[in-house]
Amino acid sequence: MQALVGAVLGGVAIFAIADRTHYDGVADYVGVPRDIFYAMALAESGRARDGHFEPWPWSLNIAGDAHFYPDRDAMFAALMTALQNGQLRVDVGPLQLNWYWQFERIDSPWRLTDPVVNAKLAAAFLKEHYERSGDWWLAVGHYHRPRETTDVDRATAAAYRERVRSLYTRYAEKSSRRSGSITLEVADAH
């Protein structure tokens, strides 16, 4: 148990390696399915790097444009610039938590850029949706589009759910028995 707590609460530098075991540790700690959670991280921030497809902890999505940074400080500087320019709908970190919708859960942009905090909040958010729906795949869609009140909302949630399911089938299940990132099977995985 102590090792699990260490994996979950361990330093940002360790998590930044994008190692699968850290996502599994968070999933276990919060109580969400490992493979689904990892597939969500791949859907949210996955990128090809050195022949591997892995979540990238230093990522932002600003106004629909994905940005990948070399480290936390660079990502934080870009996040603060966006916020200071009035762009509040910024997706942050490996699970792309939206600052506008999630700032009540965490009052600090700096803390949201911590990949461990980011992953724990995302897992808790996913679990809340599961507790409401009773279905992990519905919860995945609600994670991306919490209010499915219109046809557009439902279609957006369904498309996200299918993207995560595809990554789940293709990568997450295959890597659950090993740690580390995933070797790309095709050149254009994302």
Instruction: Please report the DSSP string for 63-85 in residue order.
Output: TTEEEE-SSHHHHHHHHHHHHHT
- Mean pLDDT, rounded, of the chain: 85
Beta bridge mates, 48: 53
Enter the tokens of residue 101: 């919708």
CA distances from 160 to 28, 108, 165, 187 (A): 23, 27, 8, 21
- Assign 171 to helix, strand or coil: helix
CA separation for the pair 96, 77 (Å, rounded): 16
What is the mean predicted confidence (pLDDT) over 43-55? Answer: 91
pTM of the model: 0.82
Enter the tokens of residue 60: 């932002």
Q: What is the DSSP letter of 96?
A: T
Enter the tokens of residue 83: 């916020």
Question: How, if at all, do strands 46-49 and 52-55 pair?
Answer: antiparallel
Beta bridge mates, 91: 61, 98
- Assign 62 to helix, strand or coil: strand
pLDDT tens across 103-117, in order?
A: 788 889 999 999 999
Q: By percentage, how much of the chain surpasses pLDDT 90?
A: 68
pLDDT at residue 176, rounded to an integer: 56
